[in-house]
Amino acid sequence: MSLLRPRRAIARALAALPAALLAAPGLVASGRAALSQTVAGTAAFPTREVQIVVPFAAGGGTDVPARIIAEPLGHLLGHTVAVVNRTGSGSLVGSEFVAKAPKDGHTLLYTVIGHAALRALYPRSGIDPVGDFAPVALVGTIPMMMTVNRDLPARDLRGLIEFLRAHPGKYDYGSSGVGGSVHLATELFKRHFGLDIRHVPYSGAAAAQPDLIAGRIALLFAVGSGPTPEAAAHGEVRVLAVTGDRRLARLPDVPTFAEAGVPEYTAQTWHMILAPSGTPAPVVAQINAAVDRVLASPDVARRLADLSIRVVPDSTPASTADFLRAEVARWEQVVHEAGIRPE
């Protein structure tokens, strides 16, 4: 299988971004009117370009959704919204940049599940994934797929758990990197079911997939937005189950964890927008209202769905804060118990 296919899908998504505005003709005009009411009586916002910092490389699974959202968001806010990539140390470099940015709403962070583990992974950085940020909106969730080498004897999820228990220390699992969503989710799976499997980190899930196909690693807990469904369709790997409460549209015949007899395990990656802590609440509310309107656009929702992102409708700063606190508590515990350390 060629790994260029996901890149072509990303290129098509980027090329079609302007259509997001055409799908909802009333979005911009009605949105600006509603948003002006949100901040009535407060200082004008925005007064210049708004930057969305993505702490990962351009063209990846975090960058593309941010760009899908940025253009219509800029039209609603009345100023350009630009996506800026600041990479390094997982998501630490970009997160630190936003945490230290002016507290005026003009610099935002578009981040994912690894954000919840930053303090545990980098204790010397002083970064606080909750206290240093003002939650703006939970964009959506992405299910994960338990994927195995096609020659592995296990044919279903319960069978995989039993097989790995019967062969401790003999099999390896891949991840997209230390402390990333795939690593965290697999360590949670490993510890929950008492499995002895070794971690092999890669520079992204796409880099791990050839070794999964070749049998150099036995399993990969892949993110639903990646290339794995295409590999499964060609019989190169087998997907045993997907997380979340419903099946993945790209793999309609693959059961959920609950349907596969493992309802007790849940893990999904997610996308979230944050501002620096101390950003005025009316400004946060204005950005939140604009993001909710963008996500309500059928065209934007469809483009995100094509990337397996399930939009969270009508999220609020308060609900986003509650969600983030729970995720930080959960994944920090996994990091500490598993002894995960950055490379």
Q: What is the pLDDT of residues 285-294, one digit of tens each?
A: 999 999 999 9
pTM: 0.85
pLDDT on residue 61? 87
Residue of 63, 42, 24 lying closest to 298 (CA atoms): 24
pLDDT on residue 249? 85
Q: Please state whether the peptide bond connecting residue 46 to the residue before it is cis, i.e. omega within 30 degrees of 0.
A: yes
pLDDT on residue 22? 37
DSSP three-state, residue 81: strand
CATH class of 4-142+269-338: alpha beta
Same-fold call for 4-142+269-338 versus 144-242: yes
pLDDT on residue 32? 52
Q: What is the CATH number of domain 144-242?
A: 3.40.190.10
CB 103 within 8 A of CB 263: no
CB 26 within 8 A of CB 32: no
Domain ranges of the chain: 4-142+269-338, 144-242
pLDDT on residue 108? 98
pLDDT on residue 229? 75
The backbone torsions φ and ψ at residue 147, rounded to the nearest 5 degrees and listed phi first, read -115, 135
pLDDT on residue 44? 85
Sheet arrangement for strand 237-242: 198-201, 172-175, 219-223, 144-149, 237-242
pLDDT on residue 274? 98
Tokens found for residue 68: 């899908």
Low-confidence ranges of the chain (pLDDT < 50): 1-30, 33-34, 36-42
DSSP notation for 204-226: SHHHHHHHHHHTSSSEEEEETTS
pLDDT on residue 29? 46
pLDDT on residue 35? 54
